[in-house]
Amino acid sequence: MRTLAVGDIHGSSAALDALLRVVAPTPDDVLVFLGDYVDRGPDSKGVLDRLLALQQTHRVVCLRGNHELMMARARHDRGELRMWLSVGGAEALSSYSGSRWSNWADAVPPDHWRFLEEGLYDFFETETHLFVHANLNPGDPLDEQTEMMLFWEFLSAPVRHVSGKVMVCGHSTQRGGVPKAWPTTVCIDTGAYHPGGWLTCLDVGSQKYWQANQRGNTRTGHLEEEAD
């Protein structure tokens, strides 16, 4: 059994499809998706369709990212809607409704709304690792972390969490296209929706990773840790 973490997808369904083909997860593996499935890329709808289908056949844990928070809140708040549209929501909405902007929330299928509003986790924990979207306050238990830390705070230095476990996160885009790794902290957001960016899946046990891009190209690597 592998524990496989997948970084920020951001509407990059072609990269997700290529990544799943090369990783070939089995029903015994645990797939932990780190959030930010929607916005910015061309096919947010397709990404959620694939995740919902994968939940029917595999062991899948989907974390909440800040972009899922924004989309869910935009459904009920016009101020939130304006903000969401300005940071990638317009691309997400286009994947559902094309040029139809009136009654936009009705263009999103009910199962997608259930996924966004009820089907996501704030964090996930194993015996050795902590999985979050953005970051952690190192001195606070998981259930005492703030929304700011879990979903919004960028990673600037390794996190030595009080649990002693390794934190795996996304959110902070690694523009070089490879994961950032320290002994205590790994960030696997490698800019899937950027030109030249990659979507990353990490086997946290072996530290091997696979990557795919929107053109369907794939590559593999192994974490290279920096001293923390």
CATH number at residue 45: 3.60.21.10
Q: Name residue 166's beta-bridge partners.
A: 129
pTM beyond cutoff 0.85: yes
Task: Using 50 as the pLDDT threshold, list the residues of the chain that sit under it.
Answer: none
pLDDT at position 100 is: 57
44-55 vs 110-118: helix crossing angle, rounded to 10: 80
CA angle, 128 then 131 then 134, to 5°: 140
Name the H helices within 88-193: 90-97, 110-118, 147
Indicate whether 189 belongs to any domain: yes
CA dihedral 65, 210, 3, 193 (to 10 degrees): 10
Which pLDDT value is given to residue 103? 82
Query: What's the CA angle centered on 221, arms 215 and 207, to 5 degrees?
Result: 125
What pLDDT score does 121 carry? 98
What total of structural domains would you count in the chain?
A: 1
Sign of CA dihedral 139, 152, 210, 223: negative
Helix residue ranges, H only, the chain: 13-23, 44-55, 66-74, 78-84, 90-97, 110-118, 147
Q: Is residue 135 part of a domain?
A: yes
Residue 93 lies in a domain: yes
Query: Token pair for residue 187?
Result: 């960030």
| β-pairing verdict for 208-212 and 3-6 | unpaired
Give yes or no for a contact between 192 and 12, defined as CB atoms under 8 angstroms apart. Answer: yes
pLDDT in tens, 82-104: 999 999 999 999 999 755 567 88
Residue 228 lies in a domain: no
Residue 101: its pLDDT value, please?
64
Task: Tell me the residue range of the domain where 214 lies.
Answer: 3-222
3-class DSSP state of 98 = coil
153 domain-assigned: yes
Q: What letters, b where the CB count within 10 A reaches 16 and e where it falls short, cover 121-139?
A: eebbeeeebbbbbbbbbee
Q: Is residue 42 part of a domain?
A: yes
Written as one letter, the residue type at 60 is: V
CA angle 13/194/224 to nearest 5° reads: 95
- Say if 227 falls within a structural domain: no
Q: What is the pLDDT of residue 98?
A: 59
